[in-house]
Amino acid sequence: MNKLLIALLTISFVTSNFEITAFAEKDNQGSEVKQEQQIEFTKKQQDELAILHKEMLAKKKEIVQKYVEFGAISKEKAAMIVKHMEMHYQKLEEHGFQPHHSHHHKKPAE
């Protein structure tokens, strides 16, 4: 039971995108949420973000390997999780490290 719980928590933690939402939307009370402005990062800013994201990716890979070592997930599952995280990093890099805009939110009714 504990192994299953750890595995589920690991998968949800590792595969979550930690996305920043930048949509104008309404909260539960119907109030409008401010829309964030998207800017173009300079090369220096992108380099700084790349360093931070690479450090975070390395730490996440380390966590996944620890779960493998402890027997919570299989090596195959770990490889799949790591591949997903690397693909996410590549997309971030391709888009200049702009925050990802979630597509899971409903658009406000007009």
Q: Is the pTM of this model over 0.85?
A: no
Q: What residues have CB less than 8 Å from 65, skipping those under 6 apart?
A: 78
Task: Read off the pLDDT of residues 54-63 as tens digits, 9 standing for 90 and up.
Answer: 999 999 999 9
User: Where is average pLDDT lowest: 6-15, 26-35, 66-75, 78-87?
Assistant: 26-35
Alpha helices in the chain (DSSP H): 2-15, 43-69, 75-94
Task: Read off the pLDDT of residues 32-83 as tens digits, 9 standing for 90 and up.
Answer: 555 567 788 999 999 999 999 999 999 999 999 999 999 999 999 999 999 9
Please state the φ and ψ torsions of residue 26, each to the nearest 5 degrees.
Answer: -105, 140
pLDDT score, position 106: 57
Q: Is the pLDDT of residue 90 over 80?
A: yes
pLDDT confidence band for 21 (50 / 70 / 90): very low
Residues 23 and 102: beta-carbon distance below 8 Å = yes
pLDDT score, position 41: 92
Three-state SS for 32? strand
